[in-house]
Structure 1
Amino acid sequence: MSGDRTALVFEGQGGDAAGIPAALDRDCPVCGEVLDEADAALGFPLSKVVFEGTPDELRQTAVAQPVLVTIGVAHARHLLSLGVLPAYLAGHSIGQYAALVIADAVDFADAVRLAARRGELMQAAVPDGVGAMVAVSGIELSEVLDACQEPRHLGVVGVACDNAPGRTVVSGTSAAVEAVVTACQDEGAVTVELPVSAPFHCELLTDAKNAFATALGDVTFRTPAISVVDNVTARPLRAGDDIPSLLSEHIVARVRFRESLELVAASGVVGEIVTCGPGHSLLKMIGKTAPGVRAVSFDRYMQERAPSSGGGH
């Protein structure tokens, strides 16, 4: 597949934290360089957390978010070093920060610091047990949105992620989310609670959104050199778009991932999507949303290249 028919899509939080240490090769020069940059930017050894942290530590939002950005950037830089020239970039939630780095819209050091601050604010915004996130599959977005209307007297609740046809995530106050889950199950949905430390992408994180806007104000952003499909608008970021404002809104807004993939697939210039980051949670979303586009994980892509590129990453 030629490079200009490739899109890179970056994993977000919520996957299997136990798989994070295997996502980077200690001996890969590109990976080592990115880890060193992350350690220097953050002022503590994130690399040690990646390889030695427990799954519980790696699931903590304040840790997981800079780790995911670091792994995503390392994978993408390795692909670029092999001659992959992506036509589109997109990320799922925190994955968008890695996309912005690869598009040269923000420096990696700034992005990883922002990811750490974002994670701290989101993790601290809601006390343990107050909120929840639940994946809902088997019914369409419109049905889940309808189910979210009834229990609002119990607290905040809404669709946090529109991941693929028939695959959404509900987020909010625990009691309200539980009521929505029951209503969705009555319609035949299958539901799974997500192992995250805060209810992302809902109004409970308004204070985090407002505080994060201050951190964003200290960072320089540039027009992306490669098309980045924004989570909030589900369209490519353009010159003149207020990226800090969108990233601030991103904390409470729905992740419009299905629409983003549909845009990439409809462009007519992408025949292959490579997912960057730990795990494979995005592959099923891509398969359901854009079945005409080949989707492959970074690891599988590297295995396929091994005979001509000389091995691993």
Structure 2
Amino acid sequence: MSRARLLLLCPGQGGQHPAMFDLARTSPAASALLDRLPLPPAGSAAISHPPTFIDAPAPIGSLPPPAAANAMLSHPSTPTAARAPGTDADDIYANRRAQPLIVAATLAMWEAIRHFTPPPALLAGYSIGELAAYGVAGALTPENAVTLATRRAQLMDDSLALHPGQALVSIGGLTLQAAAALAASHDYAISIETGEDSCITGGPAASAHALEQAVTAAGGRANRLPVEVASHTHYMESAVAPFAEALRQTNFGPMTAPVLAGINGASVGNKTQAVDLLSRQLAEKIHWLTCMDAAAEAGISYALELGPGNALTRMLQNRHPHINSRSVADFRTLDGIGKWLNRAAED
């Protein structure tokens, strides 16, 4: 009997694109699921920025230039019927559209492959992906997960009324301790720890340029992200209690596998824990390094990222190269995913 242990990874924002539903829609069951999910109407929010990589950042300096981003978003090869509603250049990266779209994409892919995927030993989600992970684990119906994602995004955007002018700045090339000290001196706080020497920080937009200059003077690299919400920092505190209430009012089913909590790497297996940790996550730093280490300590031998994108796969490969890690974004067919899963389970 194989002792292989599977980790399913649920991504955050950054990897979405107009064709992100195409592979899932080759499954009739997943296509039917997408058609009934309560996604916000197109045009409910709009931005003019290229991809933000707020939740699943590429290495600093590797964000696509606006021309490349616009070309990707307007690529004509994806049939309109295969796209999620509103997945266009005007609003696919807007917070209130992006969060429910990411959850929908992840759960649609799970619907497409779950009948041939070995039972996962563990699940982990990055920022909004943590909410999607509870859907994959069976605690939330897809409809409830998408509804909660929409509510989460709204509450985060509403924080701007209390703290107008927010921003995110990514920092690389400095220790986390040094980055945290520089951030704090400019009223910023670490939002997500993405590596031993890389993180994302959130704070007032008025101080962003000064922080970038201070990081550069200290020998690091800094890049202001085109994001107007300081996710996972104290600037989101007003969203915590109402999101906790929304979670409490939502039915939770039995979980098929535990979910790692982003803020501390704890293994979560019930609603009480989930309500506490998912709501606190809005205003507390995400320790993604801790989550990856917890997966390795749990004996995970292979991991599949449910997409869109492959940022979590890259980070896990860099952190724990002994874990055989792939993303559904690496495959052209569902059959290809199934064959890889079979091989990985036998290794």
What secondary structure does 1:246 align onto? helix
Partner of 1:289: 319
Q: 1:133 aligns with which of 150, 168, 174?
A: 168
**Structure 1 stretches lacking a partner, 5+ long:** none
CA deviations on 1:64-95 (whole Å, 9 max, x unpaired) are: 11110111112223232223321110000000
1:256 aligns with 2:254: no
Partner of 2:178: 143
Q: 2:267 aligns with which of 236, 239, 247?
A: 236
2:264·2:290 contact (CA, 8 Å) conserved in 1?
A: no
CA distance in 1, matches of 2:338, 2:281: 40
Q: 2:104 aligns with which of 39, 59, 70?
A: 70
Partner of 1:160: 191
What secondary structure does 1:251 align onto? helix
What TM-score, normalized to structure 2? 0.77
Q: 1:204 aligns with which of 232, 235, 243?
A: 235
Question: Which protein has the bigger helix share?
Answer: 1
What secondary structure does 2:203 align onto? strand
1:38·1:109 contact (CA, 8 Å) conserved in 2?
A: yes
What secondary structure does 2:305 align onto? strand
1:36 aligns with 2:35: yes
Matches within 5 A, 1:74-223: 74-126=108-160, 130-152=165-187, 157-222=188-253
Q: CA RMSD in A?
A: 2.8
CA deviations on 1:214-254 (whole Å, 9 max, x unpaired) are: 32231123553202101122111144743212221111111
What TM-score, normalized to structure 1? 0.85
1:213·1:248 contact (CA, 8 Å) conserved in 2?
A: yes
What secondary structure does 1:12 align onto? coil
CA deviations on 1:125-147 (whole Å, 9 max, x unpaired) are: 21697111122222221221121
CA distance in 2, matches of 1:133, 1:304: 36
Q: Post-superposition shift, 1:49? A: 7.0
Q: Post-superposition shift, 1:265? A: 1.2
Cα 1:234–1:103, aligned 2, differ >3 Å: closer, same or farther?
Answer: same
Cα 1:283–1:182, aligned 2, differ >3 Å: closer, same or farther?
Answer: farther
Q: How many residues align?
A: 299
Matches within 5 A, 1:18-33: 19-25=17-23, 26-33=25-32
Letter in 1 for 2:255: P
Cα 1:50–1:224, aligned 2, differ >3 Å: closer, same or farther?
Answer: same
CA distance in 2, matches of 1:43, 1:192: 31
CA distance in 2, matches of 1:52, 1:242: 34
1:3·1:86 contact (CA, 8 Å) conserved in 2?
A: no
1:165·1:288 contact (CA, 8 Å) conserved in 2?
A: no
1:141·1:165 contact (CA, 8 Å) conserved in 2?
A: yes
